Amino acid sequence: MIEYLACGNIMSDQVEHEDGTFSPWHIGGPALYALAGIRLWTDKCKLVTQTGADYVETYGRWLDENGLSHESVLVEAERVNRFTLRYRPDDQGFTYEAHQTHEYLGYLKTHPYHIDAAAGPGVKGMYWAQNLDRVVWQNLAKVKEKHGFQIMWEIEYGGSVRDLPREFKLERIPEILEIADMWSINHNEASHLFDIPRDEDERIIRELMKLPAKFTLYRVGRRGAYAVTKTQAFFCPSVQPFGASVDPTGCGNNSTGAALYAWVEGYSPDMVVAMANVSAGYNAAQHGPYPRFTPEVMQQALQLAEYYREHAVQEVIIRR
């Protein structure tokens, strides 16, 4: 029985390196990376997306290799979305170039009615990267009420949302967090939102604690991430299970999916952030998502998360 949904866009990426060379094309996108973050811990999950017919050759193989269903993958175009990513220095995010994609992005968007159709009686939680559109969130609230699952929201902060007036965002985000149970935001986004330098973690976390979310995954780039509740904050450094990072693409989505699973399953906040960072570490070990999740891989990941929770995660006292 399916318990977790990873909902939203999938898109294939290549990375342009500083020397002008390119990585191979690899599968990706917020929903796929979030699905991989969940799949490290459970196989009771599936992808909910609209995409191109050629997904079968790449994404389909990965789904099959990991024992995951295609049933909520809707083919509504000829090709999967494709992007070239260029990472900025100093952990400042990336720019992108779309390839025959902008037209697709509109009608391949995942909507609440797709999530409604995909949700069965056993679904506990869903991941969704989404903007601030009030009607979309009101429609999802109806789906949530019908099925009774929890929502992990990864804010789509780039593009049009970044350019919105700060006052509007600070009014709309709490409204959405009355619907979403938890959310995920990175340090560049939070710095821009709150007008606080991104290295001032305590000030940013203090603002996050004022919001109505039950849980926040606050991601601070290469340094790691924080688990933030209304009363506590725990920091976990980045996890590198296989040595230095090969490709950071999708690590935020991936760790957010893992945090959804861990929080809904009732793990303590310090374990949630450890599991999130372990998932990101597995994701960064290659281009694209981790290739195959076996029972042995899953057991090793759990042991690594338990080790980090015990030896590396630290509670951070936030002065209110």
Q: What is the pLDDT of residues 35-63, one digit of tens each?
A: 999 999 999 999 999 999 999 999 999 99
pLDDT greater at residue 232 or residue 320: 232
Domain that holds residue 293: 4-315
Q: How many helices (H) and strands (E) does the chain have?
A: 12, 13
The yes-or-no verdict on residue 114 having pLDDT over 70 is yes
Task: Please state, in angstroms and rounded to a whole number, the distance separating the CA atoms of residues 283 and 287.
Answer: 8
Residue 124 located in a structural domain: yes
DSSP code for 212: S
CATH number at residue 174: 3.40.1190.20
Residue among 175, 201, 203, 167 nearest 186 (CA): 201
Cβ atoms of 135 and 83 within 8 Å: the answer is: no
Task: Please state, in angstroms and rounded to a whole number, the distance separating the CA atoms of residues 173 and 154.
Answer: 12
Residue 23 located in a structural domain: yes
Residue 33 located in a structural domain: yes
The yes-or-no verdict on residue 235 having pLDDT over 80 is yes
Tokens linked to 261: 């699973």
pTM above 0.85, yes or no: yes
Residue 320 located in a structural domain: no
What digits encode the pLDDT tens for the residues 257-284? 999 999 999 999 999 999 999 999 999 9
Residue 28 located in a structural domain: yes
Based on the structure, what is the number of domains in the chain?
A: 1
Percent of the chain with pLDDT over 70: 94
Residue 263 located in a structural domain: yes
Q: Which residues contact 21 (CB under 8 A, 6 or more apart)?
A: none
